[in-house]
Structure 1
Amino acid sequence: MSDSTMHDAGPKGVSRRRFITGTGSILGAVALAGHSTPAQAGVGSAAAPIDSGAHVPALVIGTGYGGSVAALRLAQSGVDVHMIEMGMAWDTAGPDGKIFASTTSPDSRSYWLRTRTKQPLSNFLGFPIDKDVTRSTGILDAEEFSGITVYQGRGVGGGSLVNGGMAVTPKRENFGAVLPSVDADEMYGIYYPRANAGLGVGTIDPAWFETAACYQYARVGRKHAQRAGFPFVFVPTVYDWDYMKQEEAGTVPRSALAGEILYGNNYGKKSLQKTYIDRVRATGRVVISPLHKVTSVAPATGGGYTVVIDQLDTGGATTATKTVIADRVFFAAGSVGTSKLLVKLKATGALPGLNNEIGKGWGDNGNVMCGRANHLWDPTGSLQASIPTGGIDNWAAGGAFAEVAPLPTGIETFASFYLSITKNPNRAEFAWNAATGKVDLNWQTAWKQPSIDAARTIFDRINQKEGTIYRTDLFGTYKIWGDHLTYHPLGGAVLNRATDNYGRLHGYSGLYVIDGSLIPGNTSVNPFVTITALAERNIEKIIATDL
């Protein structure tokens, strides 16, 4: 099955000029009156951070996929925007001359306010592999809730900084279960193509894939899938494939071929910094304040909203507290960040009119990991590109789509590793805990069982066909399944429930949700293209009708 039939990935080769011109002609016609002068304070992390007492037309909380789309389209339509980002700017090299730390040598850049790493694979060959690190506002947040650890990106670019770059559009026939209130014709005809173009999505050269040593692990995964009767599909990504070819040839510094994935990618990956945020900066209308955290949003006496923001240092301490007025506020702090903030604001009386759907409908995208021990005649390669580029599709028959993922250890492991996305019906809820002053999530680890069952529909059959067994040394001692985590948090402020059908929060004019919290728990594939496309759809409607 070809990639185009699997993923409806949209047109390829849309030029940057044509894309911006096409969208600008739509959005420029609805510029907000009274805000026609570009922001004077400068652009991006080099600009002065937001001042206490400032009055901004649009405040975007978060710089991930949804927030970046919102900021770009608002700015293109003539609106001055300020983006608030809890993490760092990630625009300055460290002592090693690189912005991001290596996967094998984590340091203070690697984790968000932790003194010890918490890697998705906690063990290898029977030994624990986590290491002590200096506590700092690093790039990867392993946020621990009851029953689950949620991995999130921290910094300008959000989750795009730390994900594997798999840019997958759901199969058209699955979309009704993903976003039932959204017009699929519009999404597949307009917004998915727009998102794929804006993100710089591309596919691997199939001929190069067949010979590249760094994808031997994926070819082994394909062979085993096909021998067991499963289709292997190439998956689009946001990696610069020309750069990866040069990495293999040894003519440029290695990035994916240096195993860079968990703690940022220094060269080849097209994170949001290189796509949407690059265009955001070019508008001259957007200022970004890194190391700032929104703690309160409440109606202001004279209209708009009073927003309270803590400024942080790299140790996580609050160095200043600022109060600003925003005419409109866009919640784009990610599924967890947005949900936690809205639940807190409703429970503590800042936004009491939010409805009872706030905090509900949260899911883990059915994430579960596993490894298989292959025979000696099936080596997976000591050099493994950290960017996955293929998957096994058993969604219709078994409820699982599995990435063939790398294990970039630098040694031959004779192992195949997978991250599965599954049909898991379980949904959790965020709730305010008055005793602790924090927001809890009521997920239970036992709720991963449907995901394990779905993943087994693929890997039990492959093991039976190949005469292989599951690895038991990756997630602890004699533990087969990585059922303790998710990389794909979704929901908590679900579209057409907590909000209207375009992300407007019920009860408050001028408050919007525009991130993954809108999606009720599952996308059937990696979610960031769907988050981006939905944001493109929603912000276009909001600009046309609300401004």
Structure 2
Amino acid sequence: MNDTTMQDSETNGVSRRRFITGTGSLLGAAAIAGHAPRARADARTAAAPIGSGAHVPVLVIGTGYGGSVAALRLAEAGTDVHMVEMGMAWDTPGADGKIFANTTRPDDRSFWLRTRTKQPLSNFLGFPLDKDVNRRTGILDAEEFGGITVYQGRGVGGGSLVNGGMAVTPRREHFGAILPTVNAAEMYGTYYPRANSGLGVTTIDPAWFDSADCYQYARVGRKHAQRSGFPFLFVPAVYDWDYMKQEAAGTVPKSALDGEILYGNNHGKKSLQKTYIERIRATGRVTISPLHKVTTVTPAPGGGYTVLIDQLDTGGRTTATKTVTADKVFFAAGSVGTSKLLVGLKATGALPLLNDEIGRGWGDNGNVMCGRANHLWDPTGKVQSSIPTGGIDNWDAGGAFAEIAPLPTGIETWASFYLSITKNPHRARFTWNAAAGKAELDWRTAWKQPSIDAAKTIFDKINQKEGTIYRTDLFGTYKIWGDHLTYHPLGGAVLDKATDNYGRLHGYWGLYVIDGALIPGNTSVNPFVTITALAERNIERIIATDL
């Protein structure tokens, strides 16, 4: 964690995360170039989806962090861009008047093409939490591989729709282990500040934190960490703190204080919809087609690339297949989506010149969850803000950074809950299963043990100091560790290996990767600020040299 943000606390490419064949925080310092009035921008983004036979200068696959950065900067540079997004637009309220479903009341808006929810925290006090829902193109995908479930956002805005909003810049001394071929001075002097500005990153008022009922759970977590000798750090986030104060005062509709997070946040959270994508719309040069899934990218006979795209309905069925030509294509479908697509394109001969690094270097950012049962004199509060604001840093000594996370159940639980990011050395690979016609990941469940061991360097010590125990009811029957999942997929098209040092895919001029697939498996903290900053760096160079 950066001291300032943690407050003691041979080819080309651009695009990122909300993808079209696969996949848990805005904007640059530069002012927006006024290419068109807002009316024109709204017309373009609300226009009919891309048509078969269209020819576009740039196609961006995905609307998450990397893709949004690429689209904005290209549009500001005078280039027309079309973005395709596998998920929905998330701009229309449901029957309850809300766009997003509540965390404790999931419905058909909640999960991507499932008939039963698959929540990361699956049990509570001996009762299963998952419930039956209607099958729909909902906002959260729990994509299952052999040894891990990967949670990903589905919709315009990608992962920003469903993450916890913790916007963390890694400590500079750790950066060399994250992206060893990237100039750290440039990242910390220019691109991290640009990303934090663009994302609207701010830190909670410590005085309000100390008094707000909704952060009692975090204050208990702070007390326990400090009594065991661990530093507590305020963590920046992308939430409107003034709005949260009004939520606490009862003067506005509740959002974070109604537990909204897992399936979207209706009010105070500054997702990409409110930051980069809002500015994208203002350029008048970007069109977005939701419910469109890219299936094939091949070199076009006259130059550029032929892209096949399936249009989906909200039941996940293909209603049309379109052929589009793009001069340049940016892969921004998220780590999983981009990796799966590229592995398939190489293996099936669509893009055979991609190198053998495609699919390699994938990691889970060392994610592991756990809960602790506190004493009756340490209540954590009935109302808990869904936006985490603090963490416990034991990275240097134990290889773990732990978010103090909420359990927004609406009842007193006397429980502390944590998502840890750990120094896990294991890296998996995506490969193509020709018989099944799909990409597969070779992650092994046993590879989570280093993450558990790292997290235990914090929580074993706290339990010993406090005389408390681990919760065993959150992830199944008598299961302490949530070692079956990740919210932070990274890698699969690693920078300076599968691509050059700015995301240009080897073998093909005009193809780029610009999302979390570039980062080799770990960022030491929540990754979306790093994904955004790296995209800002890469697209600046691409615009200067490739257009």
Q: Structure 2 CA distance, aligned partners of 1:370 and 1:186?
A: 36
Change (3 A) 1:365 1:406: same
Counterpart amino acid of residue 130 in structure 2: D
Counterpart of 1:146 in structure 2 is 146
2:29 to 19, 22, 27: 19
Counterpart of 1:192 in structure 2 is 192
Q: CA deviation at 1:43?
A: 4.6
Counterpart amino acid of residue 414 in structure 2: F
Counterpart of 2:230 in structure 1 is 230
Secondary structure in 2 matching 1:450? helix
Q: CA deviation at 1:3?
A: 5.6
Counterpart amino acid of residue 67 in structure 1: G
Query: Within 5 A, what are the aligned runs for 1:369-388?
Result: 369-388=369-388
Q: Structure 1 CA distance, aligned partners of 2:506 and 2:27?
A: 37
| TM-score of the aligned structures, taking structure 1 as reference length | 0.95
Query: Within 5 A, what are the aligned runs for 1:506-521?
Result: 506-521=506-521
Query: Within 5 A, what are the aligned runs for 1:429-468?
Result: 429-468=429-468
Counterpart amino acid of residue 222 in structure 1: R
Q: CA deviation at 1:91?
A: 0.3
Change (3 A) 1:468 1:136: same
Counterpart of 1:349 in structure 2 is 349
| 2:152 and 2:487 in contact (8 A); partners too | yes
Change (3 A) 1:401 1:535: same
Q: CA deviation at 1:127?
A: 1.0
| 2:140 and 2:152 in contact (8 A); partners too | yes
Q: CA deviation at 1:4?
A: 2.1
1:262-293: CA deviations, max 9, x gaps? 00000000000000000000000000000000
Counterpart of 1:523 in structure 2 is 523
Extract unaligned runs of 5+ from structure 1.
10-15, 29-35
Q: CA deviation at 1:44?
A: 5.5
Counterpart of 2:22 in structure 1 is none
Counterpart amino acid of residue 220 in structure 1: V
Counterpart of 1:297 in structure 2 is 297
Counterpart of 1:469 in structure 2 is 469
Counterpart of 1:179 in structure 2 is 179
| 2:375 and 2:468 in contact (8 A); partners too | yes
Secondary structure in 2 matching 1:208? helix
Q: CA deviation at 1:18?
A: 9.4
Q: CA deviation at 1:83?
A: 0.1
Q: CA deviation at 1:5?
A: 6.8
Secondary structure in 2 matching 1:311? strand
Change (3 A) 1:175 1:41: closer
Counterpart amino acid of residue 422 in structure 1: T
Counterpart of 1:284 in structure 2 is 284
Counterpart amino acid of residue 68 in structure 2: S
Change (3 A) 1:391 1:363: same
Q: Structure 1 CA distance, aligned partners of 2:28 and 2:61?
A: 29
Q: How large is the RMSD of aligned CA atoms in angstroms? A: 2.0
Q: Structure 1 CA distance, aligned partners of 2:201 and 2:493?
A: 28
Q: Structure 1 CA distance, aligned partners of 2:27 and 2:507?
A: 39
Secondary structure in 2 matching 1:19? coil
**Identical columns (%):** 83
Counterpart of 2:493 in structure 1 is 493
Counterpart of 1:116 in structure 2 is 116
Q: Structure 1 segments of 4 or more deviating over 6 A?
A: 36-42
Counterpart amino acid of residue 473 in structure 1: D
Q: CA deviation at 1:46?
A: 1.6
1:65-123: CA deviations, max 9, x gaps? 00000000000000000000000000000000000011111111000000000000010
Comparing 44-53 with 75-84, which one deviates more in the overlay? 44-53
| 2:41 and 2:285 in contact (8 A); partners too | no
Counterpart amino acid of residue 86 in structure 1: M
Q: Structure 2 CA distance, aligned partners of 1:37 and 1:200?
A: 23
Query: Within 5 A, what are the aligned runs for 1:85-124?
Result: 85-124=85-124
Counterpart of 1:340 in structure 2 is 340
Change (3 A) 1:295 1:245: same
Change (3 A) 1:251 1:194: same
1:306-354: CA deviations, max 9, x gaps? 0000000000000000000000000000000000000000000000000
Structure scoring higher RCO (CA < 8 A, sep ≥ 6) equals: 2
Counterpart of 2:12 in structure 1 is none
Extract unaligned runs of 5+ from structure 2.
10-25
Residue 505 of structure 2 is aligned to residue 505 of structure 1:
yes
Change (3 A) 1:17 1:504: closer
Counterpart of 1:400 in structure 2 is 400
Q: CA deviation at 1:19?
A: 3.2
Counterpart of 2:251 in structure 1 is 251
| 2:505 and 2:513 in contact (8 A); partners too | yes
Secondary structure in 1 matching 2:66? helix
Q: Structure 2 CA distance, aligned partners of 1:18 and 1:129?
A: 41
Q: Structure 2 CA distance, aligned partners of 1:81 and 1:5?
A: 33
Q: CA deviation at 1:20?
A: 3.6
Query: Within 5 A, what are the aligned runs for 1:237-276?
Result: 237-276=237-276
Secondary structure in 1 matching 2:29? helix
Change (3 A) 1:208 1:524: same
| 1:370 and 1:481 in contact (8 A); partners too | yes
| 2:41 and 2:283 in contact (8 A); partners too | no
Q: CA deviation at 1:126?
A: 0.9
| 2:423 and 2:524 in contact (8 A); partners too | yes
| 2:28 and 2:195 in contact (8 A); partners too | no
Q: Structure 1 CA distance, aligned partners of 2:229 and 2:437?
A: 52
| 2:2 and 2:172 in contact (8 A); partners too | no
Query: Within 5 A, what are the aligned runs for 1:299-338?
Result: 299-338=299-338
Residue 134 of structure 2 is aligned to residue 134 of structure 1:
yes
Counterpart of 1:31 in structure 2 is none
Counterpart of 1:210 in structure 2 is 210
Q: Structure 1 CA distance, aligned partners of 2:233 and 2:396?
A: 14
Counterpart amino acid of residue 324 in structure 1: V
Q: CA deviation at 1:41?
A: 9.4
Q: Structure 1 CA distance, aligned partners of 2:310 and 2:185?
A: 42
Q: CA deviation at 1:217?
A: 0.2
Residue 376 of structure 2 is aligned to residue 390 of structure 1:
no
Aligned residues: 531
Counterpart of 1:483 in structure 2 is 483
Q: CA deviation at 1:50?
A: 0.1
Counterpart of 1:361 in structure 2 is 361
Q: Structure 2 CA distance, aligned partners of 1:44 and 1:381?
A: 46
